[in-house]
Chains A and B, each alone.
Chain A
Amino acid sequence: MCGIHELTEKDLQPLTYTPAYLDKIKGMRFFDPHVHMTSRTTDDYQAMADAGVVALIEPAFWLGQPRTGVDTFRDYFNSILGWERFRASQFGIKHYCTIGLNSKEANNEALAEAVMEILPQFIYKEGVVGVGEIGFDDQTPLEEKYYRAQLELAKEAGLPVQIHTPHRDKKKGTQRSMDIAMEHGLAPHMVIVDHNNEETVKEVLDRGFWAAFTIYPFTKMGNERMVEVVKQYGSERIMVNSAADWGISDPLAVPKTAALMHESGIDLNDIHLVTYMNAVKAFAQSGQINEADFDLAGNIDQSEKFNGSTVLRGGQQPRINKNTTIIR
């Protein structure tokens, strides 16, 4: 951190090298409604900001390895509400999150009970835009129990629900997730069904839910397939996300998909809906999203307001030149 006061204007300018796809989406703004930034580096934040990502949602999920106690859940929730939010702001990106007990760890009943007990402390926090990501993994009775309990919690708090649909037995798992949500009296417009594919999308849209698509190499959607989905189903209630995490994934999936859609002749307004506006609308039902805040994301440095400092400029981060062997 030391030495930021020695930066010149030049250090804060974008690198001269820009990938070709960025030209196609120049000036566009993107909202990635599902990305696990806690697993990502500052290089990713910088690249996302350069590509036009102005805001994102970090859903609470598992960490690649099961947790053994409720305190690590508490620390994780605190972390995505605190430190991660601050990290994002340093790159001018507005960070929101959804809070919930993920389906995998719902299978540890003692732990799940303890987590359910602390959830109400977190879901009313500022910038919590939903309960998520919750739903089915293995489709066990315990997963169902805690999915139902959290639907009730979301209903009581008036928050949208972000549903993780399973990798295995996906179609049935997705149907069942929607059936149960309806059973608990949640309106379809308050539910974002995530990780859709060509097999699930029709029913999700027909029933009035939001359909989110995760552009994630090898295991979820590719963006060429996504282009075809938008051509077939249009842009209403459809959104894309990266779900980038600790696996091989791409935090630029949303801007890259926008570029590919543009190249494929999809209307700019449809691109805007699918890569920005629909997600804003769906999660703004939490009352926690104000688009004007996207522009202020970096300006959270109170000292800036005291002394008009240009040095801090909202905590803007210095750029490092990745193309040199010299590190200063």
Chain B
Amino acid sequence: MAEYVYDRQKISEGLAAIIAGNSSDTAREWLQQRLQKAASLPQFNQTFTAIPRFTGKNMIVVSPEQAAVLQQQVPGFFVHGWTLDRLIRAWWLLQLDTSDKAVYLDTIEKLFLSAEMNELAALYSALPLLAWPEEWKLRTAEGVRSNIGVVQEAIMLRNPYPARYLDEPAWNQLVMKAIFTDKPLHLITGLDERRNAALAAILTDFAHERWAAGRKVSPMQWRLLTALITADNMADLTRVWHSADQTEKAAAALVFAYTDYAPAKTLLASDPALTAEIQSGALNWDVIAAKLSQN
């Protein structure tokens, strides 16, 4: 397995360009000084920790061209909405020597073990950039168990690593935890691509629990049943379709629109207005997400 699955030099330069546009002269001078000492592990670790003290934590501004450079190398890698310290920490991780795999893995793992909240968020955000990506699967699963919102978000939202590397049970756990903690599901990278029957079954069981408790089920979660309708879960989707809540009905309609399952197609056809909205593109999952966030 190759150490980096992308051109490290290009990503490092791409990040450096964004850093240059978002930081002060003194911050950049400080980073250059620290770079001279990066070969010493204690110095490397100390710099990682000290970054916000010297760079500040402003939200970064990224041009579409700068974002494209990163995306070309690491599809789905997304730094929009990051603070400067997080971006610089990601860049700093790329400066760690990879000539000895064991030392590299141990150094990164120890950063995780002694990280405060924002360091954890930076480390998990940088998962798509770490060398030997296969080695971070258990660490990612551990991060999903975190109770800290910013850490959960760093892993779950706009991060291409989990969809690409997690096995199915770990992926399903990530999605369920995102639902339990009210994360905006449409921001999970690879949500549709990693749909699976096991997750669909967990979700319908979960819906039954919620209904039994007199609680609502987020309409967004039905998206994960797309193309996975069976005789078993059709009853649940039919219930959602008949909901008085228009957003719930719209969610069911979107699931029905992408299936060959005849009873679902029949139900959808019974509402020509909704069918037309889907066909024209006026109704899609982003529209549902936007509606939910306005509640």
User: In the complex, what's the smallest C-beta–C-beta distance from A171 to chain B, in angstroms?
Assistant: 37
Q: Which of A282-322 contact B (CB under 8 A)?
A: 287-288, 300-303, 305-312, 315
- Nearest-neighbor residue (CB-CB) of A122 within chain B: B114
Q: Is the CB of B157 within 8 A of A302?
A: yes
- Which residues of the partner chain A approach B182 to less than 8 Å between Cβ atoms? 1-2, 4-5, 311-312
* Chain B 108-144 interface mask (CB, 8 Å, partner A; 1/0): 0000011111111100000000000000000000000
Which among B25-33, B44-52, B191-199 touches the partner chain? B44-52
Is A126 an interface residue when CB atoms closer than 8 A count as contact?
yes
Assembled-state Cα–Cα distance A78/B218 (Å): 34
Assembled-state Cα–Cα distance A311/B218 (Å): 13
Partner of B81, one of A85, A90, A125, A302: A302
Q: Is the CB of B150 within 8 A of A302?
A: yes
Assembled-state Cα–Cα distance A86/B114 (Å): 16
Partner of A2, one of B45, B115, B149, B180: B180
Is B158 an interface residue when CB atoms closer than 8 A count as contact?
yes
Main secondary structure of the interface of B (DSSP, over half): helix
User: In the complex, what's the smallest C-beta–C-beta distance from B124 to chain A, in angstroms?
Assistant: 12
Which among B62-70, B223-231, B287-295 touches the partner chain? B287-295
Q: Is the CB of A307 within 8 A of B289?
A: yes
Is A127 an interface residue when CB atoms closer than 8 A count as contact?
yes
Is A14 an interface residue when CB atoms closer than 8 A count as contact?
no
Q: Is the CB of A310 within 8 A of B215?
A: no
Count A interface residues, CB 8 Å.
Answer: 36
Partner of A125, one of B116, B153, B218: B116
Assembled-state Cα–Cα distance A230/B266 (Å): 78
- Nearest-neighbor residue (CB-CB) of A315 within chain B: B149
Q: Is the CB of A300 within 8 A of B181?
A: no
Is A199 an interface residue when CB atoms closer than 8 A count as contact?
no
* Chain B 262-295 interface mask (CB, 8 Å, partner A; 1/0): 0000000000000000000000000001101111
Is B190 an interface residue when CB atoms closer than 8 A count as contact?
no
User: In the complex, what's the smallest C-beta–C-beta distance from A56 to chain B, in angstroms?
Assistant: 15
Is B8 an interface residue when CB atoms closer than 8 A count as contact?
no
- Which residues of the partner chain A approach B216 to less than 8 Å between Cβ atoms? 3, 5-6
Chain B's interface size range is 35 or more
Is B184 an interface residue when CB atoms closer than 8 A count as contact?
yes
- Which residues of the partner chain B approach A1 to less than 8 Å between Cβ atoms? 180-182
Q: Is the CB of A127 within 8 A of B116?
A: yes
- Which residues of the partner chain B approach A124 to less than 8 Å between Cβ atoms? 46, 49-50, 53
Assembled-state Cα–Cα distance A310/B215 (Å): 20
- Which residues of the partner chain A approach B113 to less than 8 Å between Cβ atoms? 74, 78
Is B183 an interface residue when CB atoms closer than 8 A count as contact?
yes
* Chain B 91-123 interface mask (CB, 8 Å, partner A; 1/0): 000000000000000000000011111111100
* Chain A 69-85 interface mask (CB, 8 Å, partner B; 1/0): 00000100010011101
Is A121 an interface residue when CB atoms closer than 8 A count as contact?
yes
Assembled-state Cα–Cα distance A55/B44 (Å): 31
Assembled-state Cα–Cα distance A6/B219 (Å): 12
* Chain A 103-147 interface mask (CB, 8 Å, partner B; 1/0): 000000000000000100110111100000000000000000000
Q: Which of A180-199 contact B (CB under 8 A)?
A: none
- Nearest-neighbor residue (CB-CB) of B45 within chain A: A121
Q: Is the CB of A301 within 8 A of B184?
A: no
Assembled-state Cα–Cα distance A206/B169 (Å): 65
User: In the complex, what's the smallest C-beta–C-beta distance from A10 to chain B, in angstroms?
Assistant: 13
- Which residues of the partner chain B approach A288 to less than 8 Å between Cβ atoms? 53
Is B235 an interface residue when CB atoms closer than 8 A count as contact?
no
User: In the complex, what's the smallest C-beta–C-beta distance from B192 to chain A, in angstroms?
Assistant: 18
- Which residues of the partner chain A approach B147 to less than 8 Å between Cβ atoms? 83, 86
- Nearest-neighbor residue (CB-CB) of B210 within chain A: A2
Q: Is the CB of B150 within 8 A of A307?
A: no
- Which residues of the partner chain A approach B187 to less than 8 Å between Cβ atoms? 303, 306-307
Assembled-state Cα–Cα distance A125/B120 (Å): 12
Assembled-state Cα–Cα distance A226/B183 (Å): 46
- Nearest-neighbor residue (CB-CB) of A80 within chain B: B116
Q: Which of A1-20 contact B (CB under 8 A)?
A: 1-6
- Which residues of the partner chain B approach A85 to less than 8 Å between Cβ atoms? 116-117
Is B148 an interface residue when CB atoms closer than 8 A count as contact?
yes
- Which residues of the partner chain A approach B157 to less than 8 Å between Cβ atoms? 302-303, 306
Assembled-state Cα–Cα distance A2/B181 (Å): 6
Q: Is the CB of A307 within 8 A of B49?
A: no
Assembled-state Cα–Cα distance A118/B154 (Å): 27
Contacts A5-B216, A301-B153, A311-B182 given; 6 further ones with Cβ under 8 A?
Answer: A81-B116, A82-B148, A126-B118, A302-B154, A307-B289, A309-B184
Nearest first, the 3 A-B pairs at minimum CB distance are: A81-B116, A309-B293, A86-B148
A residues in contact (CB < 8 Å) with B = 1-6, 74, 78, 81-83, 85-86, 90, 118, 121-122, 124-127, 287-288, 300-303, 305-312, 315
Can you list 21 contacts pairing A with B, beta carbon distance less than 8 Å? A3-B215, A3-B216, A5-B295, A82-B120, A82-B148, A83-B148, A85-B116, A86-B117, A122-B114, A126-B52, A126-B119, A127-B116, A302-B81, A302-B153, A302-B157, A303-B184, A305-B59, A307-B187, A309-B184, A312-B182, A315-B149
